[in-house]
Chain A
Amino acid sequence: MNQLLSLLILIPLVGGVITYLVGRFNKEATKYSALSISIITGILFLLTLTKFNIKIGKYQLVEEYSWLNSIGSQILLGIDGLSATLVGLTILLTIVAIGMSWKKIKKKKKSYYPLLLLLEAGLIGVFLSLDFIIFFIFWEITLIPMFFIIAIWGGERRLYASIKFFIYTHLSSLFLLISIIAIYLHSPIQTFSIPVLTEITQTFSPQLQLMIFIGVFIGFAVKMPIVPFHTWLPDAHVEAPTPGSVMLAGVLLKMGGYVLIRVGYMMLPSAIDLAMPILAIISIVTMFYAGFVAMGQEDLKSLIAYSSVGHMGIVLFGVASMTVYGIAGGIYQMISHGLISALLFSICGMIKKDVGTRKISKLSGLAKETPTLTGILVFGSFAGLGLPSLSGFIAELTVFIGAFSTWEIYTILAIISLIVTASYFIWMLQRTIFGESQLNSKEINWKIEITSLIPLIILIIIFGVYPDLLFDYINPFVKLITSI
């Protein structure tokens, strides 16, 4: 049983094909097929975790198959603390996304669910591959299903948004590719293996590392996204269907963070060392800017989208501090933000279906109309603004503690941005849930959707109260990479 990792990628991939074939016979059956496949993947992931030794920070369960030997590339899969948490997040959010699509996605089901599974396979592939070539292939694969999900099942301006999303992220990944090639060309050994190259790039001169890092930076800055590369995100989110937003905010943004750590931090430490103050300033600007822009939003969904931008700024801030705490907190923040933004986007989609609008100014009196959804919205908002006892707080706390030992003034500025975060969430709540209602909501039965959100809520609370559950995976990894 040492093919667990490749199975993790293959099951959704093959499952997508099976789902498509099932869809040719019975359209209704696709969602059951997709759900069962994603759950099987989840079970397999749990099995993988039992084999995973949390005390070791290194890659484990490594699989190696020969592939493009002529250029030194091979299929190399491995899992460590960082990828384990992100793969877990991917699998969970895929199940949630399927739950959120259960009733809402009505057209072209037989191609929708396979795309979702393809997305899952691509994302798992990105997080598990240890070879730059297959990493990059998976990286690009994820764009395709997302593009179609936005372009076919999206809102009114879906074409504009999907093309913007595609061009933006694709262009940025080209910069990443350039950097990868640069690393490859400068390495004395002809290989694309990430673990091998990680050791080689350490020896590069700081100038060279910085040059390479610029490409990597553009790659992850667009993906995460960092101001001023963020403008694709609100458009994509506003136009994407709810499950699309869940996957986009929940996992796709994490690819940026993943590259930041895996390539940026682990491979090019001297470059980050040089760029540290700039990165800190950029991330603080991101936090403040996203906060203020979010405050001015009229659309509930784009407000949440901007909050994502702000939250990912914290990840950059943490990693740029180059401390154990900062990086651990950054990873924690990625997971936490994945859960929270998925929750918020789901709720937002349900509210839109229920009352027919997402305009904040028209939503007043929501509490009277849909008490349950309002409850979850309030919960999500407080989780988003970093209420202690919820997961976001632990992440922010850890990041800021890490950053404090690197910079003091910057950190205090960053902490002040939490007030901005709090104010736009609270002000949004003031305008939505309070007041007399002028809405007429439809009676929609949300049982399945709310059931699929329950794991998110429980995890947000558990990760907020008992952080060791995640830190057990993150800590050894972070200790290993910071000790280099």
Chain B
Amino acid sequence: MVMEYAWLIPVPLFIVFGINILLNKRLKNRTSGYLATGAVAFSFILSTLIFISSLLTGSKFHGSVTWFQLGEHVIKAGYLIDPVSSLMLLVVSLVSFLVFIYSLEFMEDDRSKPRFFGELALFSGSMTGLVLADNFLLMFIFWELVGLCSYLLIGFWMEKSEAASGSKKAFLITRIGDILMLSGIMLMFTQIGSFGFEETFNSFGQLSGDLQTITLLLLFGGAVGKSAQLPLQVWIPDAMVGPTPVSALIHAATMVKAGVYLLARISPLLSSSPLVTSIIAYFGILTALFGAYSALTQKDIKEILAYSTISHIGFMVFAIGVMGYSASLFHLFNHSAFKALLFLAAGVVITETGKHDITKMGNFWKRGKLVPIATLIGCLSLAGIPPLGGWFSKEMILTATMQGGNYILVSLFILASFLSPIYIFRWYSLIFSTNRRKKVGDKSSGYLMVLPIVALATIAGLAGLFNSSFNEWMPWSLHHGSHAILAIGSTLVVLTGFTLAILIYHLKLIDINRIKENTLFEILHKFSFNALYIDDSYTKLGFKAFSFSILASKFDDKYVDGVINAFGAFGRKVSSKSKSFDDIGIDGVVNGVADSIKFSSSLARKIQTGLVRDYSLWILIGTITILIILKISGG
């Protein structure tokens, strides 16, 4: 059975990472790329086989070996294949494979190609490892490795200072989430005594209610960090300084999905705690709204997509929160396809124009129709226009929400999905629509960059066909309820947004500048453009932490060390006082004895003339003395 060999998926990727890093300079630039692509192709084929066999048989597989022993407990390491993980494996390896092919051309002129492909391979390997892991500890290890890769790849162009600060921010912010998650894992371990998913699920019910809630919230904290939910979303826009394939692979299609994957993994636990799920739902929907709202006014071609990513992952988390697990995963699949597609397309645009600001772009429609049409499919899917994949997953989420019966959530969801088409068609129109004043770049991209985009467009376009079979295959069933009216209504809302965007940005029938003159809109615009100033306040906080650290180090130098030095100085003073006492008193006695001996010996030394004659003189004197003494004492 092919599932037994699932552990092989990350292995070639790690090996390629090792080769690329160790043989860095000795490796030819091209060879490194082909090696990595070959490895990821292998993982892709294996993952596809596993996916197909899982889809056909619906079976699970769990293999494990003893890892290490901790006190009484034996910790095992293993891999778990079930529909959720096989779907994730497919998504990860598919997107990786396409992005690797794309990168072959995109990174052609870069001198550090071996490093790039090595780190990318490490990322893909860790991500597949994360998906395969059968316990929390192993998952956390890969979880952090994924974070490390994200750090390394955002900072890939090391001489840029934005790269430095962006990568730092990404790592530290996700680290906060990771720490929360680690706390959760450890809390769970101390109660249950195992890291394994299955053991945990079996005995989680024995914990007290409060402990359950705390543990689940801590785990959700990990997901918040990795999946860029409020309030830890600030790192994603800054992460866009990395190379575009990296943005496509890590910050849109795979890594940020890890949080959603984690939540889907612990879904058996979540369903027992309504408090936690509702918290998750509110976090998700607020993030979705925030992302969509912030995406409305951005200018950077990749930042819009970044905020859009935040927004859509918010949808997924929200879906988890309303227990629409399969809806969430279906949206995850769709989003991976269309968001990777959009990023790769943005990469093409950036290479060809050399610009990042979409207000200075235009006329892209003219350069070959393949990329614009593929991008259009991606945008339509993102916007949730029927009958594309995005529409289906959105409808599934809506159905799940309706089952929960919370109308606040429903209305918020509809509001968020109203904003999606507006920002994405603003993006599309400003780049692709005809505009005489703007120039198109003079470079053109080769087939290696176009092919992945077309492939992704195909997937995004056809994904919707599988929605019902997907629903059945997933372990959680989601009943299509009788909410047809609501479904039609929400679709109409989305279409309204779509029309509005077309009217404003493509046909330019509504003048956007006139709207901006309104004070209310101006304020809204400002807030949107600055993403509610969350990032700025964090930066200020960071500066405070830094100035605190400077203060602390000064404190250490001045006071802690100062106390010691003061003791030292005091000791010196005492010692100098006591030294004088010592010199005169104690030392005086000792020295006095020594000096007197020295003096007398210097006298005695004078006797030692070396002349036998003188010695005889002393013998004489001695004899005389003895005789005198005898005389006196003898009477």
| Interfacial residues, chain A to chain B (CB-CB below 8 A) | 227-228, 230-231, 289, 292-297, 324-325, 328, 365, 367-368, 371, 375, 378, 382, 387-389, 393, 397-398, 400-401, 404-405, 408, 411-412, 415-416, 418-419, 422-424, 426-427, 429-431, 433-437, 466-468, 471-472, 475, 478-479
Contact among B71, B158, B549 for A295, CB-based, below 8 A:
B549
B167 at the interface (CB under 8 A from A): yes
Q: Is the interface of B mostly helix, strand, loop or mixed?
A: helix
A-chain residues with CB within 8 Å of residue B70 when the two chains form the complex? 325, 328, 398, 401, 471, 475
B-chain residues with CB within 8 Å of residue A466 when the two chains form the complex? 67-68
Q: How far is the CA of A280 from the CA of B151 in the complex (A)?
A: 33
Report whether A228 and B71 are in contact in the complex, using a CB–CB cutoff of 8 Å.
no
- CB closest residue in chain B, given A431: B164
Report whether B548 and A401 are in contact in the complex, using a CB–CB cutoff of 8 Å.
no
B-chain residues with CB within 8 Å of residue A479 when the two chains form the complex? 71
Q: Is the interface of A mostly helix, strand, loop or mixed?
A: helix
Report whether B183 and A415 are in contact in the complex, using a CB–CB cutoff of 8 Å.
yes
Report whether B144 and A388 are in contact in the complex, using a CB–CB cutoff of 8 Å.
yes
Q: How far is the CB of B149 from chain A (nearest CB, A)?
A: 11
Q: How far is the CA of A368 from the CA of B176 in the complex (A)?
A: 30
- New A-B pairs, 10, CB < 8 Å, besides A289-B552, A401-B190: A294-B553, A295-B550, A324-B71, A387-B145, A398-B70, A422-B175, A426-B171, A430-B168, A466-B67, A471-B68
Give the residues from 83 to 126 in chain B that come closer than 8 angstroms, CB to CB, to chain A: none
27 A-B pairs within 8 Å (CB atoms) are namely: A227-B560, A228-B560, A292-B552, A292-B553, A295-B550, A296-B549, A296-B552, A328-B71, A375-B21, A387-B144, A388-B141, A388-B142, A389-B145, A393-B141, A393-B144, A405-B190, A416-B179, A418-B182, A419-B176, A422-B172, A423-B175, A427-B168, A434-B167, A435-B158, A466-B67, A472-B69, A479-B71
Give the residues from 153 to 206 in chain B that come closer than 8 angstroms, CB to CB, to chain A: 155, 158-161, 163-165, 167-168, 171-172, 175-176, 179, 182-183, 186-187, 189-190
Q: How far is the CA of A227 from the CA of B561 in the complex (A)?
A: 11
Report whether B159 and A434 are in contact in the complex, using a CB–CB cutoff of 8 Å.
yes
Q: How far is the CA of A292 from the CA of B557 in the complex (A)?
A: 13
A-chain residues with CB within 8 Å of residue B163 when the two chains form the complex? 434
Q: How far is the CB of B145 from chain A (nearest CB, A)?
A: 6
Q: How far is the CA of A426 from the CA of B152 in the complex (A)?
A: 11
A-chain residues with CB within 8 Å of residue B183 when the two chains form the complex? 400, 411-412, 415
Q: How far is the CB of A45 from chain B (nearest CB, A)?
A: 23
Q: How far is the CA of A167 from the CA of B560 in the complex (A)?
A: 17
Report whether B553 and A389 are in contact in the complex, using a CB–CB cutoff of 8 Å.
no
- CB closest residue in chain B, given A303: B553
B564 at the interface (CB under 8 A from A): yes
> Would you list the 4 A-B pairs with minimal beta carbon distance, nearest first?
A296-B553, A434-B164, A295-B549, A388-B141
Contact among B137, B140, B550, B561 for A296, CB-based, below 8 A:
B550
* Given A325-B71, A419-B175, A419-B176: A292 touches B168 (CB 8 Å cut-off): no
Report whether A401 and B159 are in contact in the complex, using a CB–CB cutoff of 8 Å.
no
* Given A388-B143, A416-B179: A475 touches B158 (CB 8 Å cut-off): no
B546 at the interface (CB under 8 A from A): yes
Query: How many inter-chain contacts with C-beta < 8 Å in the A-B complex?
Result: 146
Report whether A397 and B137 are in contact in the complex, using a CB–CB cutoff of 8 Å.
yes
Q: How far is the CA of A466 from the CA of B137 in the complex (A)?
A: 13
Q: How far is the CB of B358 from chain A (nearest CB, A)?
A: 27
Q: How far is the CA of A328 from the CA of B555 in the complex (A)?
A: 34
Q: How far is the CA of A434 from the CA of B154 in the complex (A)?
A: 12
A-chain residues with CB within 8 Å of residue B556 when the two chains form the complex? 231, 289, 293
B551 at the interface (CB under 8 A from A): yes
Report whether A468 and B176 are in contact in the complex, using a CB–CB cutoff of 8 Å.
no
Report whether A404 and B546 are in contact in the complex, using a CB–CB cutoff of 8 Å.
no
Scoring B residues 564 to 602 as 1 if CB is less than 8 Å from chain A, else 0, what string do you get?
100000000000000000000000000000000000000
B517 at the interface (CB under 8 A from A): no
Report whether B159 and A295 are in contact in the complex, using a CB–CB cutoff of 8 Å.
no
* Given A393-B141, A412-B183, A415-B182: A434 touches B550 (CB 8 Å cut-off): no
A-chain residues with CB within 8 Å of residue B175 when the two chains form the complex? 418-419, 422-423
B403 at the interface (CB under 8 A from A): no
Q: How far is the CB of A135 from chain B (nearest CB, A)?
A: 27
Report whether A433 and B186 are in contact in the complex, using a CB–CB cutoff of 8 Å.
no
Report whether A367 and B141 are in contact in the complex, using a CB–CB cutoff of 8 Å.
no
Report whether B69 and A475 are in contact in the complex, using a CB–CB cutoff of 8 Å.
yes
Report whether A371 and B564 are in contact in the complex, using a CB–CB cutoff of 8 Å.
no
B554 at the interface (CB under 8 A from A): yes
B-chain residues with CB within 8 Å of residue A387 when the two chains form the complex? 144-145, 148
Q: How far is the CB of B319 from chain A (nearest CB, A)?
A: 29
A-chain residues with CB within 8 Å of residue B155 when the two chains form the complex? 434
Report whether A296 and B551 are in contact in the complex, using a CB–CB cutoff of 8 Å.
yes
Report whether B172 and A419 are in contact in the complex, using a CB–CB cutoff of 8 Å.
yes
A-chain residues with CB within 8 Å of residue B21 when the two chains form the complex? 375
B72 at the interface (CB under 8 A from A): yes
B24 at the interface (CB under 8 A from A): yes
Report whether B189 and A401 are in contact in the complex, using a CB–CB cutoff of 8 Å.
yes
A-chain residues with CB within 8 Å of residue B552 when the two chains form the complex? 289, 292-293, 295-296
* Given A471-B70, A475-B71: A435 touches B179 (CB 8 Å cut-off): no
Report whether A418 and B179 are in contact in the complex, using a CB–CB cutoff of 8 Å.
yes
Q: How far is the CB of A300 from chain B (nearest CB, A)?
A: 14
Q: How far is the CA of A393 from the CA of B171 in the complex (A)?
A: 16
Q: How far is the CB of B150 from chain A (nearest CB, A)?
A: 12
Most buried by A among B164, B556, B561: B556
* Given A295-B549, A416-B179: A388 touches B168 (CB 8 Å cut-off): no
Q: How far is the CA of A415 from the CA of B552 in the complex (A)?
A: 20
Q: How far is the CB of A397 from chain B (nearest CB, A)?
A: 7
Contact among B67, B72, B143, B553 for A468, CB-based, below 8 A:
B67
Q: How far is the CA of A38 from the CA of B176 in the complex (A)?
A: 43
Q: How far is the CB of B61 from chain A (nearest CB, A)?
A: 23
B-chain residues with CB within 8 Å of residue A295 when the two chains form the complex? 545-546, 549-550, 552-553
Q: How far is the CA of A230 from the CA of B190 in the complex (A)?
A: 33
Q: How far is the CB of A481 from chain B (nearest CB, A)?
A: 12
Q: How far is the CA of A229 from the CA of B189 in the complex (A)?
A: 34
Q: How far is the CA of A289 from the CA of B71 in the complex (A)?
A: 31
Report whether B172 and A435 are in contact in the complex, using a CB–CB cutoff of 8 Å.
no
Q: How far is the CA of A284 from the CA of B2 in the complex (A)?
A: 49
Contact among B145, B182, B548, B563 for A292, CB-based, below 8 A:
B548
- CB closest residue in chain A, given B138: A388
Q: How far is the CB of B295 from chain A (nearest CB, A)?
A: 28
Q: How far is the CA of A398 from the CA of B561 in the complex (A)?
A: 33
Q: How far is the CB of A317 from chain B (nearest CB, A)?
A: 13
A-chain residues with CB within 8 Å of residue B24 when the two chains form the complex? 371
* Given A368-B159, A471-B68: A388 touches B548 (CB 8 Å cut-off): no
- CB closest residue in chain A, given B159: A436
Q: How far is the CA of A408 from the CA of B555 in the complex (A)?
A: 30
Report whether B67 and A433 are in contact in the complex, using a CB–CB cutoff of 8 Å.
no
Q: How far is the CB of A181 from chain B (nearest CB, A)?
A: 24
Q: How far is the CB of A370 from chain B (nearest CB, A)?
A: 12
Give the residues from 604 to 635 in chain B that come closer than 8 angstroms, CB to CB, to chain A: none
Q: How far is the CA of A475 from the CA of B72 in the complex (A)?
A: 9
Q: How far is the CA of A415 from the CA of B177 in the complex (A)?
A: 12
A-chain residues with CB within 8 Å of residue B561 when the two chains form the complex? 231
Q: How far is the CA of A387 from the CA of B146 in the complex (A)?
A: 11
Q: How far is the CA of A411 from the CA of B152 in the complex (A)?
A: 30
Q: How far is the CA of A217 from the CA of B164 in the complex (A)?
A: 42
Report whether B564 and A430 are in contact in the complex, using a CB–CB cutoff of 8 Å.
no
Contact among B72, B164, B186, B548 for A404, CB-based, below 8 A:
B186
